[in-house]
Chain A
Amino acid sequence: MATVPAVGVAIPEALPASVTRRSALWTFVRRNPLGAAGGLLMLLLVVAAVFADALATHNPIRTSSHVLVAPGAEFWLGTDNLGRDVYSRVVHGSRISLLVGVASTLLGAVVGGVVGLLSGYFRGRTDLIAQRVMDVMQALPILVLALVMAAALGPSLTNTIIAISVVIVPRAARVVRASVLSIREHTYVESARALGVGHARVAFRHVLPNTFGPFIVLVTAQLGGAILVEAALSFLGLGVPEPYPSWGRMLSIAAAEYAQKAPWLVIYPGLAISLAVFGTNLLGDALRDSLDPRLRGS
């Protein structure tokens, strides 16, 4: 998870070298209250996911005769049509959202990053072919491509992750390629090559580290998108299957059947998705602002 201090340190050029970790965090919070709020939301999501078993008050898949009970002391956010505790399901649902979000973003970003690195570094034919493949992958709207992928692969946790990551690959490739292209022209890269350092070493030792900034921004920005796509796929019945409590799936069943009698079935899972994505977006925006050189210094 992209926690705030780690990010601040990963991009040395973003901060004066003398600034310590703690004060870096403080500066970030002072300069970006919204970003800090986002970080807090993300932290909450991580805590919910990691400690779901402890936080949940009920077994999230245990059915009972307490069907469609309104929120109260026993069931904090009410129960669903099978008598399952909505609060516990929302808490456990954070695992799926976080897992699918992070896994698909990382998978997509790493694959795309490597493609971008190679195609930007070697240029020429490699670049041409890679770029055309990326064009194809971007020629369909995210959800449409994910939909076709999910249908082709069948609904499962792994397949959902793969389907969503495919969507992220070209974006990551574009971002990394662009920064590689600009870094490649720097003299230190040329001198490294002139000293006889191998391609792989130059690419991974000298060029790669310098693409981290834009890369981190991209990952944060895509994370929210990935969570939303997972929700939409599950809503359409093509995402992560039961009995995993997934927020999108909780909405789809609620939507089809019980929305009017039990609005809590619609409100809370939707709120959970929105807050999680809101968190990543706030954080992503703040990171972009503080890392984008064009916006800095005013």
Chain B
Amino acid sequence: MRTYVLKRLVIAGVTLLGMSLLLFVLMRLAPGNITDILFESAGYVDEADRHRLEAELGIDRPVIVQYATWLGDLARGNLGKSYRYELPAWEVIRPRLPVTFELAVLSMLFAVLLGVPAGVVSAVQRGHLLDYVLRVLSLAGLSMPAFWLGMLVILTLVRALGWIPSMTYVSPFEDLRANLGQFLLPALAVGYRSSALIMRITRSTMLEVLREDYIRTAWAKGQHARGVVWRHALKNASLPVVTLIGIEFAFLIGGLVVTETVFNLPGVARYLVDAIQFRDYPIVQNLAMLIAVVVVLANLAVDLLYGWLDPRIWYRSA
């Protein structure tokens, strides 16, 4: 088991290192740099001033040196300074984390609450009308752009009620009701989408479990045994569902980019778009790395959880 965990950790480390290289190269490929941006707000470019700025920010040094410096700083927990705001990058990122975290967790919660029961019912009712209805509904969720759904929601609300969720962020510790009023709709819009995947995997696992002979027999025995069946079937189905939740959690962050924009939530996802547009390297690199760390850790957690639930995996891969 130790070997297994160790191996997973090494892989995670290698992945993150590769990610850092990829991000660094991509950001250097992008046309224009932060000095362009600083002049952008001035409406012109002065070449002499620009060279002075590049030297000041250290982006005139060889790319290798810049990369090494970044990694070194990262290892020491120093995220550098936002070029645009001249604030420590961490100070700019930190207040945005709880926003995205809350949105992601609520979305995931909705996704599970909608997806698992729908998947179970759909499996049990396979081929019946209810199965089709649920599958169509869930696939519809998977097919609609989350930002479009968000736009429709806001449009409808303001037309029908003259009310929209608060446009300034309210902390849950300040005013829980206002906070939830602000987060429920975007979370529902994002969660609906993720629920489709969860429903799908729940359904197919449930189908498999329900086909097992002993389950069929138990089912046939009648009402009393069915409770047992439910428990048993659900337990078996939980493994892939847990896996999917881990993976989906990571992908959810991608969907948040546009949703945060539509609902004006000051989270990290939306901020990444801003930072990319402003070539704010420390923010883009560190923010994307942060997201990558979350994704890799989520996958690692899923791997370990999987191994814990099904110990055979440890021995096989060790």
A and B touch in their complex, CB below 8 angstroms: yes
Chain A residues close to B by CB (< 8 Å): 33-34, 132-133, 135-144, 147-149, 151-154, 224, 228, 231-232, 235-236, 248, 251, 255, 259-260, 263, 266-267, 270, 273-275, 277-278, 281-282, 285, 292, 294-295, 298
Which residue of A141, A154, A259, A285 contacts B252 across the interface (Cβ within 8 Å)? Answer: A141
Identity of the chain B residue whose Cβ is nearest the Cβ of A231 in the assembled complex: B145
Nearest 6 CB-CB pairings of A with B: A141-B254, A143-B254, A136-B18, A278-B143, A270-B148, A277-B143
Whether A270 contacts B15 in the complex (CB less than 8 A), given A140-B295, A148-B276, A236-B261, comes out as no
Taking A152-B29, A285-B139 as known contacts, 8 extra A-B pairs with beta carbons closer than 8 A to each other, sorted by chain A number, are A34-B132, A34-B136, A135-B15, A139-B15, A142-B254, A144-B291, A270-B151, A295-B208
Which residue of B11, B126, B132, B257 contacts A143 across the interface (Cβ within 8 Å)? Answer: B257
CB under 8 Å from chain A, chain B span 235-284? 250-255, 257-258, 261-262, 269, 272-273, 276-277, 284
Asked if residues A294 and B208 are in contact (CB atoms below 8 Å), the reply is: yes
Identity of the chain A residue whose Cβ is nearest the Cβ of B17 in the assembled complex: A136
Any A CB within 8 A of the CB of B204: yes
Residues on the A chain within 8 Å of B269, using CB: 144
Give B219 Cβ to nearest chain A Cβ, in Å. 14
- Map CB proximity to A onto B25-44 as digits: 1 under 8 Å, 0 otherwise: 01101110000000000000
Which residue of B204, B261, B288 contacts A144 across the interface (Cβ within 8 Å)? Answer: B288
Identity of the chain B residue whose Cβ is nearest the Cβ of A269 in the assembled complex: B148
Any A CB within 8 A of the CB of B152: yes
Which residue among B16, B30, B145, B257 has the maximum number of chain A CB atoms within 10 Å of its CB? B145
Interchain CA distance A82-B317 in the complex, whole Å: 61
Asked if residues B291 and A140 are in contact (CB atoms below 8 Å), the reply is: yes
Which residue of B144, B252, B254, B258 contacts A270 across the interface (Cβ within 8 Å)? Answer: B144
Asked if residues A232 and B258 are in contact (CB atoms below 8 Å), the reply is: yes
Residues on the A chain within 8 Å of B261, using CB: 236
A-B contact pairs, 5 of them (CB 8 A): A141-B250, A141-B253, A144-B288, A147-B272, A151-B276
Any A CB within 8 A of the CB of B113: no
Give A255 Cβ to nearest chain B Cβ, in Å. 6
Which residue of B126, B139, B258 contacts A235 across the interface (Cβ within 8 Å)? Answer: B258
Asked if residues B254 and A235 are in contact (CB atoms below 8 Å), the reply is: no
Asked if residues A148 and B26 are in contact (CB atoms below 8 Å), the reply is: yes
Interchain CA distance A133-B23 in the complex, whole Å: 13
Asked if residues B255 and A143 are in contact (CB atoms below 8 Å), the reply is: yes
Any A CB within 8 A of the CB of B301: no
Any A CB within 8 A of the CB of B93: no
Asked if residues B204 and A295 are in contact (CB atoms below 8 Å), the reply is: yes
Identity of the chain A residue whose Cβ is nearest the Cβ of B21 in the assembled complex: A136
Asked if residues A274 and B272 are in contact (CB atoms below 8 Å), the reply is: no
CB under 8 Å from chain A, chain B span 1-59? 11, 14-16, 18-19, 22-23, 26-27, 29-31
Give B291 Cβ to nearest chain A Cβ, in Å. 6
Asked if residues A147 and B273 are in contact (CB atoms below 8 Å), the reply is: yes
Asked if residues B23 and A148 are in contact (CB atoms below 8 Å), the reply is: yes
Whether A255 contacts B151 in the complex (CB less than 8 A), given A231-B145, A274-B140, A285-B139, comes out as yes
Number of interface residues of B (CB under 8 A): 56
Identity of the chain B residue whose Cβ is nearest the Cβ of A142 in the assembled complex: B254
Asked if residues A295 and B207 are in contact (CB atoms below 8 Å), the reply is: yes
Any A CB within 8 A of the CB of B232: no
Asked if residues A228 and B257 are in contact (CB atoms below 8 Å), the reply is: no
Give A105 Cβ to nearest chain B Cβ, in Å. 16
Residues on the A chain within 8 Å of B148, using CB: 231, 251, 266, 270, 273-274
Interchain CA distance A12-B231 in the complex, whole Å: 39
Asked if residues B250 and A151 are in contact (CB atoms below 8 Å), the reply is: no
Identity of the chain B residue whose Cβ is nearest the Cβ of A131 in the assembled complex: B11
Asked if residues B155 and A136 are in contact (CB atoms below 8 Å), the reply is: no
Interchain CA distance A216-B119 in the complex, whole Å: 24
Give B22 Cβ to nearest chain A Cβ, in Å. 6
Whether A147 contacts B19 in the complex (CB less than 8 A), given A135-B11, A152-B26, A152-B30, comes out as no
Residues on the B chain within 8 Å of A148, using CB: 23, 26-27, 276, 284, 288
Asked if residues A141 and B295 are in contact (CB atoms below 8 Å), the reply is: yes
Asked if residues B254 and A278 are in contact (CB atoms below 8 Å), the reply is: no
Give B123 Cβ to nearest chain A Cβ, in Å. 11
Give B257 Cβ to nearest chain A Cβ, in Å. 5
Asked if residues B27 and A152 are in contact (CB atoms below 8 Å), the reply is: yes
Identity of the chain A residue whose Cβ is nearest the Cβ of B269 in the assembled complex: A144
Residues on the B chain within 8 Å of A260, using CB: 155, 158-159
Any A CB within 8 A of the CB of B135: yes
Interchain CA distance A149-B288 in the complex, whole Å: 12
Any A CB within 8 A of the CB of B147: yes
Any A CB within 8 A of the CB of B185: no
Whether A132 contacts B26 in the complex (CB less than 8 A), given A139-B19, A231-B145, comes out as no
Whether A274 contacts B292 in the complex (CB less than 8 A), given A135-B14, A141-B252, comes out as no
Which residue among A140, A281, A298 has the maximum number of chain B CB atoms within 10 Å of its CB? A140
Identity of the chain A residue whose Cβ is nearest the Cβ of B11 in the assembled complex: A135
Identity of the chain A residue whose Cβ is nearest the Cβ of B18 in the assembled complex: A136
Whether A224 contacts B30 in the complex (CB less than 8 A), given A139-B15, A143-B257, A273-B148, comes out as no
Give A170 Cβ to nearest chain B Cβ, in Å. 11
Residues on the A chain within 8 Å of B155, using CB: 259-260, 263, 266
Interchain CA distance A38-B214 in the complex, whole Å: 36
Which residue of A154, A224, A236 contacts B31 across the interface (Cβ within 8 Å)? Answer: A154
Residues on the B chain within 8 Å of A275, using CB: 143
Interchain CA distance A63-B136 in the complex, whole Å: 39
Residues on the A chain within 8 Å of B262, using CB: 255
